[in-house]
Amino acid sequence: MNHLNQIRVRFAPSPTGYLHVGGLRTALYNYLFARKNNGVFVLRIEDTDRARYVEGAVENLIDTLNWCGLEYDEGPNKEGEYGPYIQSERLKIYHEHTERLIQTGNAYNCFCTAERIEKLREEQQKRNEQTKYDKHCLKLSKEEIQSKLNEGIPHVVRLNVTIDQKVIVDDIIRGRVEFDSNLIDDQVLIKSDGFPTYHLANVVDDHLMKISHVIRGEEWLPSTPKHVLLYKAFSWDLPIFAHLPLLFNPDKSKLSKRQGDVAVEDYRAKGYLKESLVNFVALLGWNPGTEQEIFSLEGLVNSFSLESVNKSGAVFNIEKLNAFNFEHLRLKNDKDVLAILKELLGKSKYANHTWSDESLLLIIEAMRPRISFVKEIIENSPYFFEAPSTYDEEVLKKRWKDDSSQQLEKLIDEFSKLTNPVKEQYEEALHNAANALEISNGKLIHGVRLAVSGVGGGPGLYDMLFILGKDETIRRIRTAIERMK
């Protein structure tokens, strides 16, 4: 644990594209653990794999974390005392530390060519042995090494792994895991391009940034003995490890792009609320120990503990995410929903229309019980934004009779008498028209709904008429009568 006994955790993504939902979960658990324990949440960008670096990925990552509400305390653009927080800006630090390991005999320069390594691997495979480096360059004399360095021969630096050792990893989630050092390769620490490998940079940074808990995905567990050996080579205290369970598709295959969307960006673009995505992702592997499922971010902070994270993999179930979106949309206040709706309208074919906030709030109120996404207000009830150009064939067959036009003419008469009507007055006027025609209210209701919306379902009819207003309602009924002729 670091000398201050303060909890410090980090999310350390590689900028190789969009933030994966698995990455979001790692970031979220680190964030929740830090906030729960008055700790520090660090964002570190691990960009030493230059071949996979994607332009703009860092900005996208930060934007996505901010959108989700996971604000980091130290990191790019928020320099703390342990920066820089981008690994490509820390190369000098890694070289200094590697030099220390070479001096103590814990690391060595390796000048073997890719061809020699490949040949060695093939021979080991033929003999059914584990493929690993044979420490060939460890036997070079100081003079030979110096001469090769002077000649500028390409080389890497490797960790000198001691054989016949038990490497123990104590993990909060997995318990005690043992590894045999004979199965651990003399891993490369510095590549021939001068950049550190993930393993070296990760360990050096976690130590120098005083990271107390390393919380990351289970896929890193096999690398952890290499990290433990590095800590020991430096004579450093180990952090506390917690490896999170894998994420699966419903068919139990590993969550991947092949089976659907895996980037947070995709879910954001589809209109999922950040609250529902964060809530859903939190429950992929963590269990609050109660029946409660719907949480705010604050609620998650209060309930979270690493001890309640499961060992077994978690299934990403899109139906459940949709259900969460439905619930969180209920909890959102009108002002927030209005802001989202206005943004969506601005990107839609209705971008040039203007509606008052008052009208839009009425539409939200009418539609809220019927939708899981704000975008469904536009998709499922376009009649609020434009008059129908067609009428549902089935509803037409079932509801529009020979005398419908004549009945609706009577309704127009009643509506025309109204001045600035409220919802109840539309109901009263319809009732008066039905009485005069000696028919049931229902006969008129179906006809007028079809005339103003073009469909047979939707929110309450009188809500609809009130939102559309008297003039627009009458105009639409007249159009429908004309068209049915």
Tell me which residue of 254, 328, 245 sits closest to 284, measured CA to CA: 245
Cβ partners under 8 Å of residue 305, min gap 6: 36
Centroid of chain to Cα 332: 20
Tell me which residue of 458, 432, 428 sits closest to 446, measured CA to CA: 458
Strands 175-180, 166-171: pairing kind: antiparallel
Residue 216 is classified by DSSP as E
How far is the C-alpha of 333 from the C-alpha of 329, rounded, in Å?
8
Element (DSSP H or E) covering residue 217 = strand 213-217
Tokens of 118: 């490949």
How far is the C-alpha of 391 from the C-alpha of 399, rounded, in Å?
11
On the 0-12 / 13-18 / 19+ scale of CB atoms within 10 A, 117 is middle
Q: How much of the chain is helix, strand and coil, in % rounded to 5?
A: 50, 10, 35
Asked about 132 being catalytic, the answer comes back as: no
Strands 40-43, 8-11: pairing kind: parallel
Other CB atoms closer than 10 Å to residue 443's CB: what's the count? 16
* Phi, psi dihedral angles at 64 (to 5 degrees): -65, -45
Tell me which residue of 115, 101, 28 sits closest to 69, measured CA to CA: 28
Query: Terminus-to-terminus CA distance in the chain, angstroms?
Result: 83
CA Rg value for the chain: 32
Contact by Cβ (8 Å): 174, 222: no
How far is the C-alpha of 418 from the C-alpha of 473, rounded, in Å?
12
Using DSSP's 3-state secondary structure scheme, residue 385 falls into: coil
Which candidate in 119, 257, 347, 349 is catalytic? Answer: 257
How far is the C-alpha of 113 from the C-alpha of 224, rounded, in Å?
27
Contact by Cβ (8 Å): 440, 472: no
How far is the C-alpha of 421 from the C-alpha of 415, rounded, in Å?
9
Other CB atoms closer than 10 Å to residue 269's CB: what's the count? 10
Contact by Cβ (8 Å): 245, 218: yes
Task: Please list the active-site residues.
Answer: 257
